[in-house]
Amino acid sequence: MKKSPVFRAFLLILGCLCCSIATNWIMIPNGLAAPGITGISMTIEHFTGINYALIYYAITILILIVTWMTLGKKDASNIIILSILYPMVLWVLSFVDVQIIFEEKLIALAAFGVLYGVGIGIPYRIGFSYGGDDTVAKILKKTIWKSTELKKIYYFEEIIILLFMMLAFSLDQLAYAFAGQLIYVNSMNYIVFNLGPKLYDVQMIGKDMEKIEDFVINKIHKSVTIYSDAMGGYSREPKVQMSCVCNSREYVQLREFIKEGNYECFIKVLPLIHVFGNNRDFHRLDDENIE
Question: Across the 291 residues of the chain, what is the mean pLDDT of every consecutive 10-residue run?
Answer: 76 93 93 87 92 89 89 80 87 90 92 92 82 83 84 84 91 88 83 71 87 89 81 77 87 88 87 72 57 47
What distance in Å separates the CA atoms of residue 257 and residue 32, rounded to the nearest whole number?
55
Report angle CA 126, 195, 193 to the nearest 5 degrees. 70
Distance of CA 289 to the CA centre of its chain: 7
What distance in Å separates the CA atoms of residue 57 and residue 84, rounded to the nearest whole number?
7
Q: What is the pLDDT of residue 290?
A: 47
Q: What is the pLDDT of residue 252?
A: 86
Comparing C-alpha atoms, which of 56, 44, 46 is closest to residue 16? 56
Q: What is the pLDDT of residue 283?
A: 61
Report angle CA 21, 27, 28 to the nearest 5 degrees. 100
Q: Does the predicted TM-score (pTM) go above 0.85?
A: no
Between helices 210-218 and 248-260, what is the axis angle to 10°? Answer: 150
Q: What is the pLDDT of residue 195?
A: 63
For residue 68, give every residue at least 6 positions away whose Cβ sits within 8 Å of its Cβ, in sequence order, or none: 76
* Continuous segment of H or E residues that includes residue 117: helix 105-125
Distance of CA 226 to the CA centre of its chain: 32
What distance in Å separates the CA atoms of residue 63 and residue 76, rounded to the nearest whole number?
9
